Amino acid sequence: MSDVKECTDCVVSGRRDFLFDSLRAAAAVIAAIGLAPLSAEAMPVLIRSLSSAAKEKSYPIPAADGVQIDKDNEVILARSGKQVYAFALSCPHQNTALKWEAADNRFQCPKHKSRYRPDGTFIEGRATRGMDRYAVKLSGGTIVVDIDKVFQEDLDKAAWQQAVITVP
């Protein structure tokens, strides 16, 4: 019989720690080899919501393709072409924080290696659906994310597909 006890806080703190460790490691590698990133858009950018409303978080419209992460609200804001998506930070399989793999232009889960396209579409791995998407809308020149409305592709495919905004 094992004396090991399950840690109920490990998933949340672990995924946050992993995310920031990954960002620090990437920055350290870039600094060490003396190279700038391929583009400013390639690396995830840490952001904060412009609003403090309980369920609606607003962000500036990303100016270019790339991934931004609001760790406080566990939101990934991603622009791909003229489409902008807001994803839940956690993997739909077992809630590990997802990583953006800029070199491969995809999201990847560090735990079981599920992979997703920039629009959150599932590619391969243990997950069984795309990345969960929040409801998004444009309002007053900002992107508003309703973190109370998250759509799972396998439960509500139509809403999941519509959870995108097209920007000018």
Q: Is residue 47 involved in binding ligand FES (CB under 6 A)?
A: no
Which backbone phi and psi does 29 adopt, to 5 degrees?
A: -65, -45
Residues 126-155 vs ligand FES: string with x where CB under 6 A?
xx----------------------------
Interface with ligand FES, residue 93, by CB under 6 A? yes
Least Cβ distance, residue 56 to ligand FES (angstroms): 27
By the 8 A CB rule, do 99 and 115 touch? no
Q: Could you give the count of Cα atoms lying within 13 Å of 115 in the half-sphere of its Cβ?
A: 8
Q: Is 14 in the site for ligand FES (CB under 6 A)?
A: no
Binding mask 73-92 for ligand FES (x = CB under 6 A): ------------------x-
* Residue 19 is a binding residue for ligand FES (CB under 6 A): no
Pick the closer one to ligand FES by CB: 131 or 135: 131
Assess contact for 107 and 99: CB atoms under 8 A.
yes
CA atoms within 13 A on the CB side of 116: 30
Long-range contacts of 149-157 (CB under 8 A, 24+ apart): 150/88, 152/92, 153/120, 153/122, 153/129, 154/128, 154/129
Member of 61, 125, 149, 159 binding ligand FES (CB under 6 A): 125
Query: What are the helix (H) ranges across the chain?
Result: 10-33, 157-162
Q: Rule CB under 6 A: is residue 114 a binding residue for ligand FES?
A: yes
Give the residue among 2, 12, 1 at the shortest CA–CA distance from 88.
12
Q: Given the complex with ligand FES, which of 89 and 127 has the nearer CB atom?
A: 127
Residues engaged in binding ligand FES (CB under 6 A): 91, 93-94, 96, 109, 111-112, 114, 125-127
